[in-house]
Amino acid sequence: DDDIDLAELQEVVEVVTTAKLITKVVTGASATITVAAPTLTTVATLTLTTALSATKRRKGVDEAYTRELKVELNKNIDWDEVIDQVKRKEKEDNAVMRYQALKRKP
C-alpha cells in the first residue's frame, strides 16, 4: 500500500514538474511571439489527465465494508443480554477497585 502511494506520489510530482516546464516554455514562447507580432495572441491550455487514484479504486471496497457494518449494526439486539453484560462489567470493575485499594493500605 505504501509502495503504491509512493509510486503515485512520484508520478504526480513528475506530472506537475512537466506541467511547470511546459508552462515556462509556453510563456517564454508567447512573450517572443507577442513582441514579434502584436496582433497574435496565444493561449496555452494544459489538460492533465491522471490514472484512477488508489482512493478511487478503494472506494468500492470501502462501500462494501460500510454495507457490512450497517447490516451488523441493524441486527436485532437482545438488549436484556447487553444490560446483563454491562452489569457484570461494573461488578468486575468494582472488585478490581476494591482489590487495588486493599493493596495500597499498609
Listed in sequence order, the residues at least 6 apart from 36 whose beta carbon sits closer than 8 Å to its beta carbon are: none
Q: What is the pLDDT of residue 29?
A: 54
Interatomic CA distance for residues 50 and 22, integer angstroms: 17
Residue 31 has pLDDT above 70, yes or no: no
Radius of gyration of the chain (CA): 32
Cβ pair 44, 26 in contact under 8 A: yes
Interatomic CA distance for residues 19 and 13, integer angstroms: 10
Q: What is the pLDDT of residue 37?
A: 47
Cβ pair 40, 33 in contact under 8 A: yes
For residues 13 and 24, the model is more confident at 13
Q: What is the pLDDT of residue 22?
A: 73
For the entire predicted model, the pTM comes to 0.27
Q: What is the pLDDT of residue 24?
A: 66
Cβ pair 44, 24 in contact under 8 A: no
Interatomic CA distance for residues 8 and 100, integer angstroms: 53
